[in-house]
Amino acid sequence: VTPFEDAARVFAPQKGADPAAVARLEERLERFAATLPRDPRGVPMSGCAGGLSGGLWAAFGAELRPGAEYVLDLLGFERRLGEAAAAISGEGRLDAQSLEGKAVGSVAAICARAGKDLHLVVGDDALDHDLIAGLPIRSVREAGTVEELAAAGRAIGSGARG
């Protein structure tokens, strides 16, 4: 539900932006908003994808929809999950934001409804694991290299917890 004007503050730190970079990004978003045919500021979900959604909404009349849910529906994820033993999802940096409208959170909710385990493979685990109590997340593995990704796959395949 992040509005356009909050995109930099909410999403840029997760991508590694320091406070000075966030301030520069906020200024650029403000300047950009002033050039658009409609003002995206204050519009729910217009800050998603770093403000891209707001720009598309303002310039082209794009419909704003929750992206993760839309893609999962398009793929038939819930139906396909019924045929699987478990699901695997990932995130560059796993944090509280990952559970709020992003793929990881949406996949976790679907797995919970289906009674399926979820394994996460992430670049950086910065999540307070108390936040996932009650979710079907059975393992969280950090993997930043090809070798670590392969090892995570083997561990998940063997049923190892981690």
Instruction: Evaluate if residue 131 carries a pLDDT over 80.
Output: yes
For the chain, how many residues are written?
Answer: 162
CA atoms within 13 A on the CB side of 26: 14
What's the one-letter identity of residue 131?
L
**Minimum mean pLDDT among 19-28, 75-84, 122-131: which range?**
122-131
**Minimum mean pLDDT among 6-10, 87-91, 116-120, 157-161: which range?**
157-161
CA 3 to chain centre: 16
Q: Residue 16: which pLDDT band, with cuts at 50, 70 and 90?
A: confident
Q: What's the CA gap between 35 and 29, in Å, rounded?
A: 10
pLDDT at 15: 83
Bridge partners for 121 per DSSP: 90, 141
Contact (CB, 8 A) for 125 and 112: no
Q: Residue 101: which pLDDT band, with cuts at 50, 70 and 90?
A: confident
Beta strands (DSSP E) in the chain are 86-94, 117-125, 137-142
Global pTM reads 0.80
Task: Report residue 76 as tokens.
Answer: 């038939």
Domains of the chain: 4-60 (no CATH), 67-158 (3.40.50)
Q: Residue 162: which pLDDT band, with cuts at 50, 70 and 90?
A: low
Average pLDDT over residues 25-43: 97
pLDDT at 159: 80
